[in-house]
């Protein structure tokens, strides 16, 4: 029962150390075959990036690096290959009653991608970000070596790797902590109709780890408008009177909405972990999947983010939305507004009030983040920066709120109409004004000076000079802003 009734569950067995060593050897051989001076990248079949990726680099062989190597249910750890998806990792660990401390929302996100990029989920208020539960990792760096780094060894690389997005190298193996999970999750959907009251309740729950006197397993929220917001409080339980299944007719985010007070729900632990993947949060509505007539004939196994990604790829390739929906009606193109930003908990209401006035995008997802207790012990080791993870500086003891919005606005939404990314640039300015920052998986428009101020100063280049002196990988700014 721990793995639930989800349509796509399959038991995943560890591949073992011998297979891992063979895969690493194939990776290194493919690196050696790349001519000197030629840039390299991973030969990935899928990606959860919403920005373009540059061409002209040579893909490395990662076919054998997609699995779980070994699980230690006593020590509650797992050794995992860098290209292993969280879907496979969860299906390998749940039969032991264990799960990663933070599981990003989409099934095809890889462990290496979440650690070198950024991942956040409803357990981040108590477990921080995915890289904080990494014990050690093997990283392929630009010299062609595999460097093992940890909380005690090669600490500079270990601390600078999160948010490096492959600019310093690629994680080949990660040893991570696991935690015990109950078979069911009980949910309280708590409605608010005032942004300030909502902000304060979310901040208090994140800081205390409790709601209504009960210990929280997970905590996130959804804001539909300035007058409709919901806290989603998740509690572990060994029993449930019945469970919902949002891979069928019902739609998860719509289940949160109710007139007042608190609404209750139950899910299996696996269905809770992947509650957002079935409809890609709410983005599946763009494909008609939430229309009851369409939903009845849309195969359940294709209600998942990985398939929606393929549809997005077709749209980008053939410009389908503009050619068939916008142009015939003489409507402007859509500027894509796909971002995750963070502001401090005391500034959430101000940002949401501004955002809802500035655009018609709704709803938005909210997730509190607090660095794990004790993480500050990393500070000061080999690096002088105050933040434990200097390429994405979050201060210990502070609650940050991730705000995710994934939609678009008319290309002439900003008046007068500006160059591509006009409204995204307005968002960047507002977030910077509030002392926040944003994840770099999507488009970014910062100039280099502001980018360095937000993401580690000259540290990325100093670390790169040590581990990638010949610049076999693009730099962080080149990769995340210039799409190298």
CATH number at residue 105: 3.30.465.10
| Position 5 in a domain | no
Tally of CA atoms within 13 A in the half-sphere of 410 that contains its CB: 14
Summarize pLDDT for 137-194 with one digit per residue, the tens. Answer: 999 999 999 999 998 999 999 999 999 999 999 999 999 999 999 999 999 999 999 9
Split into its structural domains, the chain has a count of 1
| Position 436 in a domain | no
| Position 46 in a domain | yes
Among 33-42, 353-362, 398-407, the minimum mean pLDDT is found in: 33-42
Dist CA 405 CA 392 (whole Å): 20
Secondary structure class of 235 (helix, strand, coil): strand
| Position 384 in a domain | no
Please tell me the predicted confidence (pLDDT) of residue 4.
53
CA angle 218, 163, 381 (to 5 degrees): 95
| Position 101 in a domain | yes
Q: Is 61 exposed, middle or buried (0-12, 13-18, 19+ CB in 10 A)?
A: middle
What 8-state DSSP symbol labels residue 323? I
Dist CA 172 CA 31 (whole Å): 13
Judged against a pLDDT cut of 70, whether residue 443 lies above it is answered with: yes
Q: Which residue has the higher pLDDT, 41 or 55?
A: 41
Summarize pLDDT for 462-479 with one digit per residue, the tens. Answer: 999 999 999 999 999 999
Structure tokens at 288: 């008609």
Summarize pLDDT for 307-347 with one digit per residue, the tens. Answer: 999 998 888 888 877 776 777 877 888 899 999 999 999 99
Radius of gyration for the chain, computed over Cα atoms and rounded to the nearest angstrom: 22
Dist CA 224 CA 362 (whole Å): 6
| Position 334 in a domain | no
Secondary structure class of 422 (helix, strand, coil): helix
**CA-to-CA separations, 434 to 162, 221, 447, in angstroms, rounded:** 23, 21, 18
| Position 109 in a domain | yes
- Among 330, 327, 205, 193, smallest CA distance to 260 is for 193
| Position 42 in a domain | yes
Structure tokens at 474: 């693009």
Q: Is 285 exposed, middle or buried (0-12, 13-18, 19+ CB in 10 A)?
A: middle
- Got the DSSP string for 385-401? -SSSSTTS---TT--EE
Tally of CA atoms within 13 A in the half-sphere of 77 that contains its CB: 11
Q: Which domain holds residue 125?
A: 17-180
Compute CA 355 distance to the chain's CA centroid, rounded to the nearest angstrom.
21
């Amino acid at each position: 029962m721990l793995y639930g009734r989800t349509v796509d569950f399959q038991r995943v067995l560890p591949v073992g150390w011998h297979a891992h060593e063979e895969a690493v050897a194939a990776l290194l051989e493919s690196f050696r075959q790349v001519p000197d001076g030629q840039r390299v990248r991973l030969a990935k079949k899928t990606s959860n990036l919403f920005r373009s990726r540059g061409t002209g680099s040579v893909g490395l062989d990662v076919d054998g690096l997609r699995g779980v190597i070994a699980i230690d249910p006593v020590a509650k750890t797992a050794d995992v290959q860098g290209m292993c998806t969280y879907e496979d990792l969860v299906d390998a660990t749940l039969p032991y009653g264990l799960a990663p401390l933070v599981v990003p929302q989409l099934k095809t996100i890889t462990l290496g991608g979440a650690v070198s990029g950024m991942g956040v989920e409803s357990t981040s208020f108590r477990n921080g970000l995915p890289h904080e539960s990494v014990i050690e990792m093997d990283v392929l760096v630009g010299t062609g070596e595999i460097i093992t780094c940890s909380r005690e060894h090669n600490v500079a690389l270990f601390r600078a790797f999160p948010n490096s997005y492959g600019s310093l190298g690629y994680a080949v193996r990660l040893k991570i902590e696991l935690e015990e999970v109950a078979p069911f999750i009980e949910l309280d959907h708590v409605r608010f109709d005032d942004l300030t009251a909502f902000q304060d309740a979310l901040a208090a729950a994140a800081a205390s780890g409790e709601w209504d006197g009960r210990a929280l397993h997970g905590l996130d929220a959804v804001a539909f408008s300035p007058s409709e917001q919901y806290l989603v409080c998740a509690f572990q339980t060994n029993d449930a009177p019945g469970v919902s299944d949002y891979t069928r007719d019902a739609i998860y985010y719509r289940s949160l909405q109710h007139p007042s007070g608190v609404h209750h729900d139950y899910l299996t632990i696996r269905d809770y972990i992947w509650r957002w993947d079935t409809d890609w949060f709410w983005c599946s509505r763009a494909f008609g999947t939430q229309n009851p007539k369409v939903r009845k004939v849309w195969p359940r196994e294709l209600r998942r983010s990985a398939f929606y990604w393929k549809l997005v790829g077709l749209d980008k390739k053939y410009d389908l939305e503009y050619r068939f929906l916008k142009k015939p009606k003489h409507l402007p193109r859509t500027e894509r507004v796909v971002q995750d930003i963070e502001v401090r908990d005391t500034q959430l209401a101000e940002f949401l009030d501004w955002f809802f006035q500035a655009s018609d995008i709704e709803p938005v997802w909210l997730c509190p983040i607090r660095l794990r207790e004790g993480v500050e012990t990393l500070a000061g080791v080999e690096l002088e920066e105050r933040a434990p993870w200097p390429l994405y500086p979050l201060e210990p003891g502070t609650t940050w709120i991730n705000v995710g919005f994934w939609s678009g606005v008319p290309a002439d939404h900003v008046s007068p109409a500006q160059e591509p990314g006009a409204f995204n640039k307005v968002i960047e300015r507002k977030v910077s004004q509030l002392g926040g920052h944003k994840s770099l998986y999507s488009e970014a428009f910062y100039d280099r000076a502001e980018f360095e101020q937000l993401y580690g100063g000259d540290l990325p280049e100093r670390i790169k000079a040590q581990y990638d002196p010949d610049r076999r990988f693009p730099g962080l700014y080149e990769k995340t802003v210039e799409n190298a």
